[in-house]
Amino acid sequence: MSAILTLNAGSSSIKFSVYLTGDGDPELLHVGQVENIGGAAELKLAGNKPVSIDATDHETAVQAILTMVEPLLEGRKVAGVGHRIVHGGPDFGEPARLDPATMEALERLVPLAPLHQPHNLSAVLAAQVAFPHAVQIGCFDTAFHRRKPFVNDAYGLPLHYYEQGVRRYGFHGLSYNYIAGELRRVHPDLAKGRVVVAHLGNGASLCGLLDGQSIATTMGFSALDGLVMGTRPGQLDPGVMLYLMDQGMSSAELTRLLYHDSGLKGLSGIGNDMRELLASEAPEASLALHYYLARLRREIGSMAAALGGLDGLVFSGGVGENATDIRERVVEGLGFLGLSLDQTANRQRETRIGNGTAEILVIPTNEELVIARSVADHI
């Protein structure tokens, strides 16, 4: 057996997994992550205590991961390394080998995903040095949405901008890919229907699936649009940006506002941790949560309209999978879509938590397995 390593680099963390190849799906061997890159960094391997490491940037973090992983391989060869790449632009609709030409093309997309793309590519460069003979495969968060209808892919701008790549790309595609596969495997009848998937974490979006294909999604040209998120505002009138620019805000200041200081953090003045906000008695926390829930209900209705109805709602992501109170409060007021929550099943954290005409499911996502499968197809 050979091994597959997956790297999922975020702005200050890297998740990693080690899989073994063989018949059927890759077999998970180890999983872990590096947190607080650039600060008090720690490397966590599942089942072990965190270890403090010197990780001033993503390249040194990858080196620390490789140092820990090497003895765990027990002499097995790393045949392939799979990378989550947030933005694939208009040209990358499938996993791709990360050769110099591909890396150059992905580098040009950094302005579209400034929080993630540079770190994704930095992890690739470090892995190429560590495993020069391994296949390096990029798996794109935008790829799952590349076949959306034009009306859900374009903006109301002159058409030549669309042709230049100004489009509603959508993100969280690896997660939606996994959920669509699980629906086909476990709920085949529902998989053929009209399903809204809610990927709710610090970043959050919805995807409308029709027969397992992305028809519409809430994120657009960048990962800023749609739902309000931990530190990002979600849907925002572009006139607000024009106004702030006229008031003297620079591009760097706007970037900071939109990516780091808005969303739940900005609305509450407390922070972006959903658990902290749910536990808080501060009125600002309540206001932030009311806004979060209102936007989520509104966008679920929008997805149902794009699909022509609703057969099911799936919760996923860190908040979607774990925040029972959020699930309960989201479904309140969505009875007109046939959604009704079984409160006992919800609080007992069961998979099926609905008792209306439309199904409600909780399905933990697994982006790393999607990446590992793609690598296995290339080795």
Would you state the structure tokens that stand for residue 28, as one six-digit string?
A: 């998970």
User: Strands, E, within the chain: which ranges?
Assistant: 3-9, 14-20, 27-35, 42-45, 51-52, 78-85, 96-97, 135-140, 194-200, 204-210, 213-217, 312-316, 359-362
Residue 367 to residue 47: CA distance in whole angstroms: 20
Residue 184 to residue 315: CA distance in whole angstroms: 16
Q: Is 189 a catalytic residue?
A: no
Question: Virtual CA dihedral for 11, 17, 18, 24, nearest 10 degrees?
Answer: -130
Among 23, 25, 91, 141, which one carries the catalytic annotation?
141
Would you state the structure tokens that stand for residue 42, as one six-digit string?
A: 């720690």
Closest by Cα among 367, 359, 345 to 195: 359
Residue 317 to residue 319: CA distance in whole angstroms: 6
3-state helix, strand and coil shares in percent for the chain, rounded to the nearest 5:
40, 20, 40
Q: Is 339 left (phi over 0), alpha (psi -120 to 50) or beta?
A: beta
- Return the active site residues: 141
